[in-house]
C-alpha cells in the first residue's frame, strides 16, 4: 500500500519522536507523550486503510498470530 504525500509527511515528522523514546528507553516529557497519541492515531488510520484494501490477508495474519501464541 503506497502512502499518500500527506500521510508520508506526518509519519516522517513523528519518526524522530519515536526514535528519541526508543533511545532513552522512556517517555521523557509531555511533548513526547502527545506525539505518541498522534502516532497511534496515524498507525490506526494506516491499518484501517490496509485492512480495507487487503481484508483476507489481515484476517489470515490475525489467525496466524493467535495460533502462534
Tell me which DSSP letter residue 25 carries: T
Q: What is the pLDDT of residues 2-37, one digit of tens each?
A: 999 999 999 999 999 999 999 999 999 999 999 999
Q: What is the pLDDT of residue 61?
A: 95
User: Nearest 5°: phi and psi at 60?
Assistant: -65, -40
Closest CA to 14 of 34, 28, 35, 43: 35
Evaluate if residue 69 carries a pLDDT over 90. Answer: no
Q: What is the pLDDT of residue 16?
A: 94
* Residue spans per domain, the chain: 5-68
Q: What is the pLDDT of residue 6?
A: 95
Amino acid at each position: 500500500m503506497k502512502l499518500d504525500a500527506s500521510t508520508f509527511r506526518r509519519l516522517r515528522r513523528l519518526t524522530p519522536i519515536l526514535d528519541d523514546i526508543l533511545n532513552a528507553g522512556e517517555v521523557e516529557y509531555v511533548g513526547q507523550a502527545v506525539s505518541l497519541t498522534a502516532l497511534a492515531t496515524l498507525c490506526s488510520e494506516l491499518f484501517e486503510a490496509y485492512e480495507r484494501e487487503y481484508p483476507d490477508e489481515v484476517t489470515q495474519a490475525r489467525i496466524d498470530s493467535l495460533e502462534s501464541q
